[in-house]
Each structure stands twice: as C-alpha cells, then as structure tokens.
Structure 1
C-alpha cells in the first residue's frame, strides 16, 4: 500500500465513521501533520476521493465531504436493486462452507444484539452488517461488481440507516439475512437474488418512511440524508 492509498483509506473510513461529517472540510495541512506525510500523497488521495464521490473540490476552500439529498439516496437504491441481487445470485453457486459458516456467525451475532439492544447495539449491528455484505461480495467472486458497488453504494453512509429502523423493520432485516443463508446453502441463485431484492426494497421503504417523518416534523427544513441499508 502506497502512502496515498493509506491516506485514502483513512479519510474514507473517517467519513464512514462520521468523524468527517457532510459539509466538513478535510484539511491537507492537518492530515499531513497528523500522519507525518508530505502534501503530495495527501493531494493524490484527495483527487481519488473526489473522483469516487466522497468529497468535492471547492475552489479556494479545499476538499469538502459530500452531502447527500433524499433524491440521491433513492437513485442509489435503484442501482443497488439492479446490482446486489446479481451478487447474491453469483454467490449461491460459488460460496464455500467456510464462507457460509462465517456469514451465519455474523447473522447470529446481529440477532443477539437485536435481543439485547444495549448501548451502542445499533452501531455494532451496522458494523456487522457491513461485514456480512462485504463477505457476500467476496463469495460472489466478481471484482467488477465489487468496484461498482464500492463506488456507488458506500458513498452515502450505509451504516447509519439502522438508527432509523423500527423494531419491526430491524427484525425483518435479520430475517432476510437468515433466508439468504438458506438460499445460499441450497445453491439456489434465483432464491438468493429474490431475497436480496426484498431486503433492499424493505430498506428503501424504511428510509422513505424516516424521510417522510423528518419532512412532516420540519417542513421548512433542508431534506438531506446519507443513509442506505
């Protein structure tokens, strides 16, 4: 990994974790001082982040973390519904027992957290959910699909969506994970793709419900969201 790769990964993770919220600026000088790097790899990393849609270059100000509107999120869902069922379909014919066992352990841990619902449970579930989907992507064995989804899907921060779920929506998401495991275990690509599509459509419905609640509570407010599923 080059210095620019390292900076890219660090900044992207901080955007995902909320350390750099929408509208904030990523300062070259601060990053360089913190990581003890020259500005050359930092500028290269920022150019990649602009190209991938994580930040935008504001003249005379620097790199600003992108804000996402509700319309942006809906567009991302449309693309996910096209791409991710194909990931599940491919995984059904390629996944091995070790990969399936790991997905099952992740599903079990998410279910445990749902039952406990202690402090920080939702954030922990979201992190495990990211791992679940990443491992499913790896099982599909398609670098092209992976690159597309990394660019399209992860830019609007996915892990915060669970904070908007009702208990019923959360339980439904866990059930989808379980049914997907059964489809993968059976090697049934059509079934796996159907479950993934239902999973995404349910997540979209939850997001739209949350957005409608925000609009009703603050009809004069700026309607922005960066959450997916």
Structure 2
C-alpha cells in the first residue's frame, strides 16, 4: 500500500547485506542532487568519465529551467515538463513494482530496476531526435544533446550502480514514454499552441504545421 510505496522512495529500500554494518566495501557514495553514484575504491579513467555522465541529470535539471526562462517558449516548457516530472512519475512506480537490488559493487541502497538515469537520458535523447529538427533546431544542437545523453546508461554500468538489464529496461521505458509524449505533443499540444501560449503567457514556438515555428 502507501507505506510500501513511501518506503521504496528512501535509502535502504533495496539495501544489500553490507548495509547493516553501515559501511560500503566497494567505495563510497557521491551525493549529487538527483544523480547519486558510487565512487569505487580504485577508480580508473573510465570511472572518472562515467562519474561525469552520471551527474548529467543534475546538469539537465539546472540548465532546462534557465533555457525555459530565457526562451519563454511553449516548446521549451513542454520538454522541461517531460524531463522534470514525466520521467520521474514513470520511474517510481516501476521501481516499487520490481523492487530489484542494484548489482554487486554499488554503494547505493535504493532499488535499481529500471535505471532512472536511463529513463531520463534515453527519453530526452529520443525527444530531441524526433522533436528538435521539426522545431527548427540545427543539426549541431541535436548532436550535442545526443552526445551528452547517450553515454549515460553505459556510465551507470561502468560504476556498477546498475546492471545491463536495468539500464536496458530503463532505456526501453525512456524511449517508449518519449514516443508517446512526442505523439501527444504533435496531435494535442501543438494543434492548440496559439491558445495555450496565450493562456500560459509563453511564446508560441511550437506549431510548425501552422507556420508559427521560429528558427533557432
């Protein structure tokens, strides 16, 4: 019930055996908002790169509000809503349902199936690939976003915070949720873009089918 759901949202909900002793034998947790990861005892240069990509959700959640505030476009607000709320609302119930521990080598004690990092990164990458060209973004911007996001699932496996199965599951969930959101934007939001923009006091940069999409 609600108690079990609430318990899953906190540390220790999928705690391994070593957690009772209070110390992780594999390294230590680096606490980054929305992006905690394991820093191994003997890190390699690949672990350093993986740590950077594991912090990408924080980078995204810091940059997106700035992007929305600067552009004030309905399109930007729609992307922000998906990344900030949509992917999170999808992830939590799935973690509760599967209640699967993280692989050996992780110092994180929350549940690992599916990977929230993979849901967010693959979801946003899919949305960028499908939506950005239609909204007038140049190819370089889309490629930069993909380069920033596509290595995130690998980073989670490299740091042993997720298994391959968990990041693949997260990637599939992220892809499918982004495609559903893309269709929703195309046929529900963008067809009402002028009215929604006026209501929300935003710029109508979202309806290329109706000639109102501005080039970036």
Q: What's the TM-score, normalizing by structure 1?
A: 0.31
Higher helix share: 1
Q: What's the TM-score, normalizing by structure 2?
A: 0.32
